[in-house]
Amino acid sequence: MSAKTAVKSPFSPEQEKALEGWTKAYPYSNMGLVEALRSVQDWNRMISPEAAARVGEIFGLPFNRVWGVVNFFPTFTIKPTGKFRVGLCHGLSCFLKGSDKMESCLEKTLGVKKKEVTPDGKFSWEPMECLGACEQAPALQVNDRLQGAATEQLIAKLKDLK
Amino acid sequence: MTKILTKHFDEPKLHELETYKRLDGYKGLAKALTMTPADVTAEVLKSNLRGLGGAGFPTGAKWGTVPPPDKVPGPRYVVVNADESEPGCYKDRVLLTRAPHQLIEGLLIASHAIGAKESFIFVRGEYQNQYDIVEKALKEADDAGLTKTCSIKLMRGAGAYISGLDTALLETMEGKKAWPRQPPPFPTVAGLMAKPTVVNNVETLSMLPFILREGGEAFAKIGSPKNGGTVVFSVSGHVEKEGIYEVPMGSKLRDVLELAGGVRKGHKLKAVIPGGTSMPPLLEKDLDLTLDFDAIRAAGTFLGAGGMIVLDETADAVEVAHNIERFLTHESCGQCTPCREGSFWSEEILERILDGKGTAEDMPNLTRMGENITGKVICALGDTVGVIARTWQQKFPEDFKKRIPHGQAS
Ligand SMILES: Cc1cc2nc3c(=O)[nH]c(=O)nc-3n(C[C@H](O)[C@H](O)[C@H](O)COP(=O)(O)O)c2cc1C
Ligand code: SF4
Ligand code: FES
């Protein structure tokens, strides 16, 4: 058996197909790598070395090449995030509008420190750099979607997310 | 006041093809397709359109450096830079949300001008809402046969500010770490997969439909010398009415501040960051300054991408400088030692001053470090590390001295 088939894929057949799809989405297969890794991050809320290795096989790239990309980009994490990954901007405009107070509020409401996951796996939160919503400071997003300016009410409502 | 990009922003369905078309949409493209690529580029040169992604490079001149297909055969690309991540900037987000077809039309015009048959829109990952809107608009354009001359594909980033720098954007698109390249060659000669590539900002490309429809001269007339048309400022911070404001190039700083309702009530102006946090701050005395890429340089700062942050007297220059250096430390790609180490140490020194543990050497050290970083690195992020370390203490020495217990440096 070749080294290639010796590794059991950490992905489901549908996921394998989706990843293959990214190798054909652009004129050169490597151009699909960041999008493919975004999918893995979405599915698993993290990217494990095994997952990165399999993505490498699909793209025909060495593990280290893929792992370097995983570790470079803030969207990719090698430890789990919550199902709802909450980002609070602490860029300058948001800092001026009290992002530090809202960080404390997130910690209190969700009951975990930054980058930690709630026991039910539902939430994690982290400070993020400018989210491009400086007029809605301090800007809050969930899974890459802007929610608006963080307030105690908005943060309390996060708990209702399903 | 003359508006180009935001003229129809009171139309609730501007993001839909039907509405956009009713308001002269895709007429600029139709006109461009009757012209030769060289004539389209000439028209854009005449317009004095400058790149609105931060650097202000003349757009027509940039396109002119793409080798023509008969000299260098094979694919060439236009890449839309929708990575907008400079703190203070959010105009591209609003343009993507409200007028995706304006961008698509502009992209098709640019693609015609350089002979691209395939082009890309690179959207920062955090703009998922905008990605969905553009994807939908693109589907409408595809279905209407508008992308027959050039197909358009979307791609998302993964949270790195440095991906917004053109050569780092291309590295990201090639599935690599976003490490800026050291030009030459410039992307127009060897860009995406080493093919000739034009990278343009969302706002820049969105200007093209007007330029083609109304003519380059009409566009140039709206702005100031060598700075054609309008510019969209994203205003945030201590103002009454945060929001985007489109004004002719060459408007006064005072005018933009007024549009945003002025400094918040009961407070006094301390500083204005004109173009995003990488740009040195301006003061009250600069309010009559003319805002275009060239005039603003006289005041030692840059128009950048128009991310205007207004600070009142409650803002502390040490906290501000610390916030910006923290950002740069986080975003430095790490390949140049002065930038990687300098951003880290600037942040550390500023943190120490914030904690009341600053020493007499800290301010001169920041200046010295700053001077040893700027100009000695691959890209403008590193230059900024040095500029921030120097300018905030130069402009607001009192804020620094007040926090350093043993007073001034010897
Ligand atoms: C650190 C850094 C970050 C940048 N980020 C962006 C960005 O997010 N969007 C953008 O359009 N240009 C950005 N730029 C400028 C680009 O490198 C490039 O000049 C621009 O996209 C060209 O388009 P334009 O000529 O239409 O302005 C950045 C530059 C630097 C140095
Ligand atoms: S200056 Fe900084 S961000 Fe730019 S290439 Fe060098 S290390 Fe990377
Ligand atoms: S600084 Fe927070 S969204 Fe821009």
Burial (0-12, 13-18, 19+ Cβ within 10 Å), A2: exposed
Could you tell me if B246 and B341 lie in one domain?
no
Q: What is the pTM of this model?
A: 0.97
Q: Categorize the per-residue pLDDT at B352 as very low, low, confident or very high, splitting at 50, 70 and 90.
A: very high
Domains and CATH numbers, chain A: 13-72 (1.10.10), 84-158 (3.40.30.10)
Could you tell me if B69 and B211 lie in one domain?
yes
Residue range(s) defining the domain that contains residue B386: 317-401
Ligand 3 binding pocket includes A53 (Cβ within 6 Å)? no
Could you tell me if B179 and B308 lie in one domain?
no
- d(CA A143, CA A155) in angstroms, rounded, equals 15
Q: Is the pLDDT of residue B410 over 50?
A: no
Q: Do A129 and B327 count as a contact with CB atoms less than 8 A apart?
A: yes
- d(CA B398, CA B256) in angstroms, rounded, equals 28
Handedness of CA A19, B131, A86, B327 (dihedral sign): positive
Compute the nearest-CA separation of B18 from chain A (Å): 27
The partner residues of A145 in beta bridges, in order of sequence, read A142
Q: Among residues B312, B331, B347, which one ends one of the domains?
A: B312
Answer whether residue B248 is part of any domain: yes
- d(CA B137, CA A124) in angstroms, rounded, equals 33
Handedness of CA B141, B89, A68, B75 (dihedral sign): positive
Q: Among residues B201, B221, B241, which one ends one of the domains?
A: B221
Q: What is B259-316 written as a DSSP string? A: HTTSBPTT--EEEEESSSTTSPPB-GGGTT-EESTTGGGGGT---TT-EEEEEETT--
Could you tell me if B272 and B352 lie in one domain?
no
- Each residue of A129-153: pLDDT tens digit? 999 999 999 999 999 999 999 999 9
Residues of B numbered 241-270 whose beta carbons fall under 8 angstroms of chain A's beta carbons: which are they? 242-244
**C-alpha of residue A51 to centroid of ligand 1, in Å:** 33
What pLDDT, on the 0 to 100 scale, is given for residue B409? 46
Q: Is the pLDDT of residue A1 over 50?
A: no
Answer whether residue B7 is part of any domain: no
Q: What is the CATH number of the domain that holds B245?
A: 3.10.20.600
Q: Do A132 and B320 count as a contact with CB atoms less than 8 A apart?
A: no
The partner residues of B271 in beta bridges, in order of sequence, read B311
Q: Count of CB atoms within 10 A of residue A160's CB?
A: 6
What pLDDT, on the 0 to 100 scale, is given for residue A6? 52
Residue B38: name the closest of B1, B70, B8, B77 by CA: B70
Whether chain A has a CB inside 8 Å of the CB on B121: the answer is no
Could you tell me if B307 and B322 lie in one domain?
no
Q: Do A90 and B126 count as a contact with CB atoms less than 8 A apart?
A: no
Query: Does residue B4 contact residue B207 with C-beta atoms inside 8 Å?
Result: yes
Q: Among residues B221, B240, B260, which one ends one of the domains?
A: B221
Ligand 2 binding pocket includes B85 (Cβ within 6 Å)? no
Answer whether residue B266 is part of any domain: yes
Answer whether residue B9 is part of any domain: no
Query: Does residue B17 contact residue B137 with C-beta atoms inside 8 Å?
Result: yes
Answer whether residue B191 is part of any domain: yes
Could you tell me if B58 and B172 lie in one domain?
yes
Ligand 3 binding pocket includes A91 (Cβ within 6 Å)? yes
Q: Do A34 and B157 count as a contact with CB atoms less than 8 A apart?
A: yes
Q: Is the pLDDT of residue A3 over 70?
A: no
Ligand 3 binding pocket includes A96 (Cβ within 6 Å)? no
Sheet holding A123-128, edge to edge: A123-128, A84-89, A139-142, A145-149
Q: What is the CATH number of the domain that holds B47?
A: 3.40.50.11540
Answer whether residue B408 is part of any domain: no
Answer whether residue B216 is part of any domain: yes
Could you tell me if B161 and B299 lie in one domain?
no
Could you tell me if B31 and B49 lie in one domain?
yes
Of B85, B93, B125, the CB nearest to A38: B125
For chain B, helix (H) and strand (E) counts, in that order, are 17, 10
Burial (0-12, 13-18, 19+ Cβ within 10 Å), A13: exposed
Could you tell me if B300 and B213 lie in one domain?
no
Average pLDDT score over residue span B115-136? 98
Could you tell me if B246 and B393 lie in one domain?
no
Q: What is the CATH number of the domain that holds B327?
A: 1.20.1440.230
Of A32, A91, A96, the CB nearest to B327: A91
Average pLDDT score over residue span A31-56? 98
- Each residue of A53-111: pLDDT tens digit? 999 999 999 999 999 999 999 999 999 999 999 999 999 999 999 999 999 999 999 99
Q: Categorize the per-residue pLDDT at B1 as very low, low, confident or very high, splitting at 50, 70 and 90.
A: confident
**Which residues on chain A are in Cβ contact (under 8 Å) with B126?**
87, 128, 131-132, 141, 144, 146
Per-residue CA distances from B60 to B43, B66, B358 (Å): 8, 10, 49
ipTM: 0.96
Could you tell me if B54 and B180 lie in one domain?
yes
CA B82 centroid distance within chain: 9
Ligand 1 binding pocket includes B381 (Cβ within 6 Å)? yes
What pLDDT, on the 0 to 100 scale, is given for residue B405? 77
Answer whether residue B410 is part of any domain: no
Number of independent structural domains in chain B: 3
Ligand 2 binding pocket includes B373 (Cβ within 6 Å)? no
Could you tell me if B119 and B206 lie in one domain?
yes
Per-residue CA distances from B374 to B324, B342, B377, B408 (Å): 16, 10, 7, 25
Of A27, A59, A132, the CB nearest to B90: A132
